[in-house]
Amino acid sequence: MTKRLCIIGSSGFSREVMDVGAAVGYDIFCFADSGSDVDELVGFPVHDDEPETIAALAADGWHFAIGIGGPRLRKKVAEKMADCHFPALIHPGATFGVSQRERIGDIPGIFIAAGVRMTNNIDLGPHCLLNLNVTVGHDTILEPYSAAMPGVNISGNVHVGEGAYLGTGSSVIHGGNDAKLLIGAFATIGAGAVVVRDVEPGVTAVGMPAKPLVRA
């Protein structure tokens, strides 16, 4: 049976989403982006993302994925398209500890790229994004729309809040059994930063160790 996936967005990341879709068995793709100035991408059509277009695709049996990395925009798109089917896209090159793959199940809209390693007792919310070669340690919670960019390392006993964004190559040191290290909702961790203590919601933290960014 032919499987069809419509990817919202037309950036480079949207093409990486397509790659994972192909790896899990989707055959036909399209992109939806009203802001695009092209009508074709890597041989597949680019449609507008108006509600009428999305509704027609959904009625025709298409599945959907969000090809956008920014958590706030991912959330906006997901809420706007709440009636659409967002499959879990989990690359077969990702690896999991005992029972962890079963624990994830088919959480709507999650994206797990090649090279991701998750150990065990880890919880993910809908539309979480784990990009290439991310590692996630035991007893960690990743709330909906949180995003870890390539090469992020999250140690055990960490709680990543809704929509938090962990930049490329950043690391989060482990929390304790009684009090997980907390990265607040919609916080941003800069590329290469090392988080050793809690980060407040909405804060941008950079450096080694990571500290709140103070603007001049």
C-alpha dihedral sign at 96, 101, 103, 108 = positive
In the annotation, is 138 catalytic? yes
Phi-psi region of 192 (alpha: psi -120 to 50; beta: other; left: phi over 0): left
3-state helix, strand, coil in the chain (%, to 5): 15, 30, 55
Residue 163 token pair: 């929509």
| Cross-strand partners of 189 | 166, 205
Q: List the catalytic residue out of 91, 127, 138, 174.
A: 138
Annotated active-site positions, please? 138
